[in-house]
Amino acid sequence: MALDAFSTATAGLRVTQAQIGVVSQNIANVGTAGYVRRTLSPVSSGTGNAGVATGTIGRALDAAALKQLRSETSGASYTSLMSKTRSQLDTLYGRPGDSSALDGVFNSFTLSLQTLAANPTSTAARATVLSAANDIATRIGSAANGVQALRSGLETQLGIDTEKANSLLAQLAKLNTRIVATSAGDPSRPDLEDQRDQALTSLSGLIDINAVAQSDGSVSVLTSSGVTLLDRSDAASLSFDGRGTLSANALYDSDPSQSGVGTIVATTPGGGKIDLLASGAIRSGSIAAAIELRDTVLPQAQRQLDDLAAGLSRAMSDRPATGTVPTDGTTGGLDIDLTGLSAGNAVTLTVQDGSGTQRNIILVPSYQSPPPAIPAGNTDDANATVIPFTIPQPGAGRDPASVRNAIAAALGGGYTVSSAPGGAAGAMRILSTGGATLLAASASVTQVTSSSDIKGSSTQIPLFVDGASAALYTGSFDGGSQLTGFAQRIAVNPAVVGSAGSLVGITGTGAGSSTGDGTRPQALYTALTGTQRLFSSSSGISGIDAPTRSSVADFVQGVISVQGAAAAAAQDLDEGQSIALSTAQGRFASASGVNIDEEMSNLIALQQAYAANARVLTAARDMIDTLLRI
């Protein structure tokens, strides 16, 4: 009996001592990132209490809580970068209402035109218009440069994050190998598993992943879309072909030879390559946010500024043309005056087929033969049918008939194009003869012939031009889209600066002329604040996938409003996701983390158990000593 008590007490001391060691380790690692609370599972190796062995050390891991934590970590990384970048984008436009903000500078420009219209002979008023025009061009360009700087920063960050993800995958492959080679009872195994879980959580902040446990103790890692990044000890290698500083023309394309930005390629151990962007494999995490910002959000912001710059320029130099119902009773068509039609002056026809479905046909004139192909996304309506066609350049060989014939050939069967009776030389009548109903026709027709045409009899004037070459802006696609990146290139026409009197229609030279009238500045003011223009669906101002019709002044407000609302929404989403992440962290910590109060309570109980076993051992020894003395 004494021997049984001695064995039981010895086994109890051994187990209690091991448990105290585990509890002490837990207490020592309170607050250690990635540490999962250790537990001891005693096992029986014989009969009775005397057969209790110390057992194996394991981790109190809540797999469901850990999976949720990784999911929320991916989401939080995504929303954090989205909120940060959208706030930076919103800042580029300035605080609404401030004199230096985009709307404030624009309002100063329109006010200067009003002032000049009221006092056209004032040399100071003319100088103020030119100064205000330069300010708005510079402000638009500054915002656009800021957009591209954000894109370039994201391009750099994608390279850094891809390298981090690649290093983490390599680290996970090594940890898998070490864990598989370690027996389940090895005390170092929980530490290795902690390191692996911490690496997986870090990886989830970059890419949305699923970790699948294998029977040998290793894990496989897949993206949420199903692309395998790690299979036990075999990790894919991630690479990013960054392009450095990005411009407005540097856009993503699934065809690597056409893409102007970098993409992420996963190379499998077998040598196969997967383009993770083209396959849509990355859906959350900071990498997914950077991709969406670089390829969607910021290019749309650039498009808004390009559209604004184009609207500002064309409000000065173009005449809106709108189709009207023929007054002579002719049905099935519209009359529209396209006098002065230039390359890029797109003509939009709205038609309705027999089923009642409406669609836009956009005719885009070009001076090239054959005309360049034009993606619908580069026009006002990304869903329209785009038909490029060639017209003669102004001058010799160009007459109204040649333009009408070119449009008729572009439309093909089902339409006839003829001269509009009683209209201007360039007015034409477009009739639908193929069953479709022609509902509307519109265009913005450039009235000036060149950037030096500043003293004509019309109210239009090329106040803004394209770049250092001072080219006339018409929206041409000859040699590439003139619209793309125009926000960075818009400038005040040097010819107007050198002859400020042209702002009031003065035919003399020099800014010191003392005569003039306010017709032109008043017309320019109205063109900016009252005339409705068509802005592209790609700008996203209307909130739907359709073109926006508004004045330039309203479009400025729309740009600021859309970006401000998007920044606020991104911030709200990030705050909500932060709460979700905090909740997931709390749940995981509650189940698998170290609770110092609980561990201290356990330590006290174990110390008491150790003392009790020691007393039993002492009593057993005394019994044996007594027996030996008998």
Give the tens place of pLDDT for each residue, 94-132. Answer: 999 899 999 999 999 999 999 999 999 999 999 999 999
Which of the two residues, 28 and 376, has the higher pLDDT score?
Answer: 376
Which of the two residues, 44 and 204, has the higher pLDDT score?
Answer: 204
pLDDT for 547 equals 85
pLDDT for 61 equals 75
pLDDT for 509 equals 39
pLDDT more than 90, % of the chain? 66
Structure-token pair, residue 581? 């992440």
538: pLDDT strictly greater than 80:
yes
Average per-residue pLDDT for the chain = 88
pLDDT tens, 585-623? 888 877 776 666 565 666 566 566 556 556 655 666 656
DSSP structure string for 258-322: T-SS--EEEE-TTS-EEETTTTT---SHHHHHHHHIIIIIHHHHHHHHHHHHHHHHHHHHEEEEE
Average pLDDT estimate for 377-391: 94
pLDDT tens, 249-288? 999 998 888 999 999 999 998 889 999 999 999 999 999 9
Smallest CA-to-CA distance from 381 within 498, 545, 509, 265 is with 545
323: pLDDT strictly greater than 90:
yes
pLDDT more than 70, % of the chain? 83
pLDDT tens, 414-453? 999 999 998 888 999 999 998 889 999 999 999 999 999 9
pLDDT for 108 equals 97
DSSP run (H or E) holding 213: strand 209-213
pLDDT for 513 equals 43
pLDDT class of 63 with cuts at 50, 70, 90: confident
Q: Output the CA angle 533-346-301, nearest 5 degrees.
A: 60
336: pLDDT strictly greater than 80:
yes
Weakest-pLDDT range from 43-52, 71-80, 296-305, 330-339: 43-52
pLDDT for 475 equals 96
6: pLDDT strictly greater than 50:
yes
- The span from the CA of 497 to the CA of 500, in Å, is 6
Q: Rounded to whole angstroms, what are the CA distances from 316 to 55, 131, 210, 380, 404?
A: 86, 16, 56, 19, 26
Average pLDDT estimate for 319-324: 95
pLDDT for 422 equals 83
pLDDT for 540 equals 87
pLDDT for 5 equals 55
pLDDT tens, 480-499? 999 999 999 999 999 999 99
pLDDT for 270 equals 86
- The span from the CA of 126 to the CA of 210, in Å, is 65
- The span from the CA of 530 to the CA of 209, in Å, is 53
The pTM for the full model equals 0.88
pLDDT for 100 equals 94
Average pLDDT estimate for 43-67: 67
Q: SS3 string of 472-515?
A: CCCCCCCCCCCCCCHHHHEEECHHHHCCHHHHHCCCCCCCCCCC
